[in-house]
Structure 1
């Protein structure tokens, strides 16, 4: 007798989580038993779900799969609404394939290179210290999300891009609407329109007086239109801010829950060894995996994947939280162990579409955590972990509050 083909799993099971840091149990089962599984999408499309580290890298690193949004089926909804097909717009590189994607990506890669990011390190440390001073002014107890995590993430990104901080609420509203599953598609579209016109105005000013920042350098390029630059900036800000804030908030919450690991990070920070902190940041990124389930690609032609035939037009969702907990890749997959080498994690994706600003996010994480653990040695959660609200059904994992005492 032949074995019956398993029924496709429902995307709704993705959200069956009980702990803020652990992926849904179904993903842990799949990565061990069926790393490439059939999945039914919200629009009725039957595609695939990849959960293993090996398959995640294969899908994300292969040009046999497209990232064009109008060719895919989104694995999630917005407030129960299906995502509409989105046309490619000039500068909207995130939903382009090479070679169109390559042109825009190359322009931005230099802005977030290792050398460029290292040059920002002293200023990021200054901003973290200044924000820490505001936390002290507030006194204990305090919610670190509005007093530290959010303003630090915003200030760093605004300075690097060349966006006046006074205008940051318009841009952060776009990021919030895109990552909040309680916000509908129309509300997200309205937030995007406001942010677009705000950035378009800044690009126009930079054409006249280009500064030493990302907007200024892009505006100095005569081959780029204002619309292209504005759409590029929209993507960088919306995705960059959400990932940066989410990573810092989730990492802090994880450390406050794992006191032994918090002490380990504090010891490394006191020793002044940047390499030690950077290694620990990689483990925090692996463990929290802030980019959850909004990672998907569509096969451009029939392709073999994990012993299965993925037909042209079928969408494959990559579950990064599962891939980052793959026991075949990591020695301590389900625990937080700052001593392990987690450099192979996929928290920022993989391949040509890996997060362009991931080095900057790492820098904010390293400097932000260092300033806090050294400046507030008695830092602790002010409520039980179960009382901390966490976004579990959104593209980006993040705490909504971080009530602490010190």
Structure 2
């Protein structure tokens, strides 16, 4: 506990000094300048043509000047991987742009992706053992149960349902609650808060407001379990490390797991189903060929890359990246989506702008890379394998009932998704038989 307190005091002092020098507060930013929104724009599930053209001509480019600093966009695969791996040259300390004045502890800048070593190292070591394949294998029966329950509910409600509210959101939400040891009540509230946490349409204001609500919920959940720890991850960490972790610290750790564990997976399931509805070959592989399930999932992860931009980084020294001179203090954004479509990543000239379920997996960056790589990557893969295979087996003829232009894809969000996905569960033969029986 003393070590963590000392680290937090050092980091807090550092953030306050940086903020006082800059006089900046992202919480008060009501909109993003148009110049910095390019990496968040898409046409359907694809990057806009301007993004791809920029990557192909200038894989590291100056995007804008914001708060007196240059903002660089990295869109090439090799350059993205280099920057993500270089923890010594870049800081993930977003707190330098957030005033500490008047903020409650529950509003602290949180998430392992927004802090640097040594605090990052100290906190991540608590989580790493919980996300080994051996530990995660214990969750597999629970994931199977949740998926089957959701599929049963869809079948009972069909033949037309909204796949987002009926399947894509509740599956990862219930799984992450199972993992953490939390109740699943108030699902609708967290659906809206999860979307708001990544919504950039109001600048930083909406994001930080939603963050405060979910963080406060997790801090209270930790406090409630401190005397009688539950069976989930929160209870396990309290039993093993409760003397080292106060409610605020453990609540922050749990908040990162909670949010990252359901919002990104929900987007992947919804957009994955959207692609599967247009790819009978992918559905057949998921349904009939167990050996191909991993391949299909990896291609979906690469092609969709729902986490569009890696956590913002700041150069700790003058450096050169992709032939560009980056100055100390410059902000560096890394487009994971553009990097994962880079032709240089392709084998034998494959077109990475197409979805090919038979493609051999690439070294994609959908989960990031380096010390900030997503700690829950293997859990996400497990969920996607079970949920998408279950969906393909139960409803192999599932179709989307709305034209792409009518779907409400998120306009400006760090995590890309669709607000609703109306689907028909059965093919024409099954639909006709159902109508006749009624």
Aligned residue runs from structure 1 range 179-328, under 5 A: 179-182=198-201, 185-220=204-239, 221=241, 222-256=243-277, 258-260=278-280, 263-271=281-289, 273=290, 275-293=291-309, 295-328=311-344
Shift, 1:55, TM fit: 0.7
> 2:81, 2:369 within 8 Å by CA — same for their partners in 1?
yes
How many correspondences in the alignment?
A: 381
Q: 1:355 to 1:15 in 2, by over 3 A?
A: closer
1:103 equivalent to 2:122? Answer yes
Q: Name the structure 2 match of 1:401.
A: 420
Q: 1:158 to 1:243 in 2, by over 3 A?
A: same
1:131 equivalent to 2:153? Answer no
CA distance in 1, matches of 2:80, 2:246: 35
CA distance in 1, matches of 2:246, 2:374: 23
Q: After alignment, is 163-172 or 28-37 more displaced?
A: 163-172
1:57 equivalent to 2:76? Answer no
2:173 to 135, 144, 154: 154
Aligned residue runs from structure 1 range 351-390, under 5 A: 351-390=370-409
> 2:268, 2:301 within 8 Å by CA — same for their partners in 1?
yes
> 1:175, 1:239 within 8 Å by CA — same for their partners in 2?
no
Could you list the runs of 5+ residues in structure 2 that have no partner in the other structure? 1-33, 427-438
Shift, 1:45, TM fit: 2.9
CA distance in 2, matches of 1:128, 1:353: 29
Question: Over residues 30-81 of structure 1, what are the superposed CA-to-partner deviations in whole Å (9 max), with x where a residue is unaligned?
Answer: 2211111111045453231111111111111102111000346xxxxxxxxx
Task: Please give the secondary structure, in 2, of the residue aligned with 1:364.
Answer: helix
Aligned residue runs from structure 1 range 337-352, under 5 A: 337-352=356-371
> 2:285, 2:293 within 8 Å by CA — same for their partners in 1?
no
CA distance in 1, matches of 2:212, 2:377: 26
1:68 equivalent to 2:86? Answer no
CA distance in 1, matches of 2:60, 2:202: 31
TM-score by length of 2: 0.81
Higher-Rg member (1/2): 2
Alignment RMSD (CA, Å): 2.2
Shift, 1:298, TM fit: 0.7
CA distance in 2, matches of 1:287, 1:383: 22
Could you list the runs of 5+ residues in structure 1 that have no partner in the other structure? 1-8, 73-83
> 1:246, 1:398 within 8 Å by CA — same for their partners in 2?
yes
Question: Over residues 368-394 of structure 1, what are the superposed CA-to-partner deviations in whole Å (9 max), with x where a residue is unaligned?
Answer: 111111001221111222222111321
Shift, 1:228, TM fit: 0.3
Question: Over residues 9-39 of structure 1, what are the superposed CA-to-partner deviations in whole Å (9 max), with x where a residue is unaligned?
Answer: 932444554x211112122112211111111
1:48 equivalent to 2:72? Answer yes
Shift, 1:187, TM fit: 4.5
Task: Please give the secondary structure, in 1, of the residue aligned with 2:71.
Answer: strand
Q: Name the structure 1 match of 2:61.
A: 37
TM-score by length of 1: 0.87
